A and B are shown apart, each in its own frame.
Chain A
Amino acid sequence: MGSPALPMRVIVVDDEELARALLRELLAGHPDVEIVAECGNGFEAVKAVTEKKPDLLLLDVQMPKLDGFDVLELVGTDVPVIFTTAYDQYAIKAFQVHAVDYLLKPFGAERLAEALARARARVGARETLPAKALVSDARKARAPIERILIRDKADVHVIPVAKIDYIESQDDYVSLKVGDRQLLKEQTLSELEQQLDPGRFVRIHRRYLLNVSRLARIEQSVTDSRVAVLQDGSELPISRSGYAKLREIL
């Protein structure tokens, strides 16, 4: 048994104080585990993970605003995760994002010890998993997303999709136009397009995904090309296939 010389640095995330207290109590029985942060919500968790770079996340699923999966998507690194929840319906999804374990509340010392043993093995093996891609994969199967999560260093923005005017592709990033703000997110436009409701967001051009409710009119510019004029007056190019898609919806 090669127990690691350095303690395993853990962040505990749960919106219920009593649940955190229980983990604190149970983890006290593991001298090789050090709690480096306790978080009461997803925002704190994203911040703490960014700053502390823990070895393991003990992550509740049901939390206000940002749930456990949102946190994982946002931190987007290869932090091993143990989910803790009273709901068994997320087990498959947790498996898809390669969670180390999935603890069903209520759980006791033994079940937690088992999960920690698995986590140690994972940390020891230095397994790196592209958690972000996995989370996105897991998301594809879900209903269209209603909001987009953006991490700006340690801060998190939650953008309801209805507030987005359009989204522009910028290499590996997308730029969200929200009123007079521009927000960057590390994701491809095609990926985002798949997550959004195709009845509300139309790929009018290779580089643009338009919220159709913002469209004021379509103008014919020179010869063949068309231009979308938005309600705020800004203009976006429409490709031939984009025009076909738009006509289908309107």
Chain B
Amino acid sequence: MHPILGSIRRLAIYLLAWLLIGLLLSVGLGVRNGNWLTAVAFFVPLGVVFALISQSAWYVCRIFPLVRSRAWSVVAAQILAAVFASAIWVAAAGAWARALEVVGLESAGVALYQNQRALLFVIGALLFWLVAIFFYLLIAFDASKDAERANVELSLLAREAELKALRAQIDPHFIFNSLHSISSLTATDPAAARRMCLLLADFLRETLRLGGSQQIPLSEELALADRFLAIEQVRLGQRLVVSRETGPGAATCLVPPLLLQPLVENAINHGVAQLVEGGTIRMAAARTGSTLTITLENPCDPDRQRTRGVGLGLQLLRKRLINQYGASDAVYAQEQEGQFRVEVRIPAVPALAEASAGKTEAPA
């Protein structure tokens, strides 16, 4: 698409610019030789004509782009094109001068033209190059804009992929196992089966909803963890004990969604569920000054057979927090004497406006 001929508005602006150039030429070249009117009548239409001729520079610029062509081929092409364009222009000027004479406007037109043919040719070539430079600039500008757009698109894609990955983090086996528990309860305790159905539905819906938001209050993340643990409680029975502590000011702090979820899942799958006697999962959130600290502790079997893929959740979390806060030491994990402990430290940002705005859309 031609950048100027392709749009009427741009063409109008462009022609107006050339009208001005024509007037300048009239002043520069015409005033010395004849009267004002002749000069204007001669140069202004010629300016418009050259405006159109010089548009051919666009194609030359496209065929010989600065970045990918050799310097000499660009120079040669532009000189040739300028000579060509200017020659046509000078010829047009001659024809115009004679036409003016036929109309009988002024015989000085021809004189004007005769006197300054060489000068006109040089001016034509220079103007052609001016246009060529303008097009090269335009191409470079477009290229940088394209690159920027591609960049933005790329980061959008990356973010979308991250969200998808987050959603995919819902462990399907968790769902299958829960359904198996429900299936069992339908015969022995239908009311409990129904409760579990609702818990599971709530958990899934909340996970999908929170996964789509940028930041959520810690209280929502904790509520999600509670639902998850309530479901696992049905499955694991007395083997699972949960304790939770939330310090003052911590619950309203904003956190990335599903921050805790992989940690809680790990605490179950690689911790309590791997112990014959089970154990207690301790969650604590505390705000000290500008730092929000969330800790999760669970017992684990120190002699367990370590499977591949363990630690993936932690790795992903580290990466997310680096992206979000630029802090590479936000996640600290440690296993000691059968006790696994994860500590997450992020800046404490209390939800103010967001909290009240979020309330309206959050279902009760």
Contacts and interface: CB of A to CB of B under 8 A. Distances in A.
Interface in B29-60: none
Interface stretch (B116-124, B125-133, B177-185): B177-185
Interface in B295-312: 301-306, 308
A16 interface: yes
A21 B276 contact: no
A156 to B, nearest CB: 11
B273 interface: yes
Interface in A102-125: 104-108
B176 A65 contact: no
B185 A18 contact: yes
A145 B180 contact: no
Nearest to A17: B237
Given A18-B180, A18-B234, A64-B274, A86 B173 contact: yes
Given A65-B301, A146-B305, A21 B176 contact: no
A63 B275 CA distance: 8
B235 A147 contact: no
B15 interface: no
B308 to A, nearest CB: 7
Q: Classify the interface of chain B: helix, strand, loop or mixed.
A: helix
Contact of B235 (A18, A40, A158): A18
B276 A65 contact: yes
Interface residues on B, range: 20 to 34
B7 interface: no
Contacts of A21: 184, 187-188
B303 A106 contact: no
A87 B173 contact: yes
Interface string B179-215: 1111111011000000000000000000000000000
A19 B305 contact: no
Contacts of B273: 15, 62, 64
Interface of A: 15-19, 21-22, 25, 40-41, 43, 62, 64-65, 86-87, 104-108, 143, 145-147, 158, 160
29 contacts: A15-B273, A15-B276, A16-B236, A16-B237, A18-B185, A18-B235, A19-B180, A19-B181, A19-B184, A22-B183, A22-B187, A25-B188, A62-B273, A65-B301, A86-B173, A86-B176, A86-B180, A104-B176, A105-B176, A105-B179, A105-B180, A106-B176, A106-B179, A106-B180, A143-B308, A145-B305, A146-B306, A147-B305, A158-B303
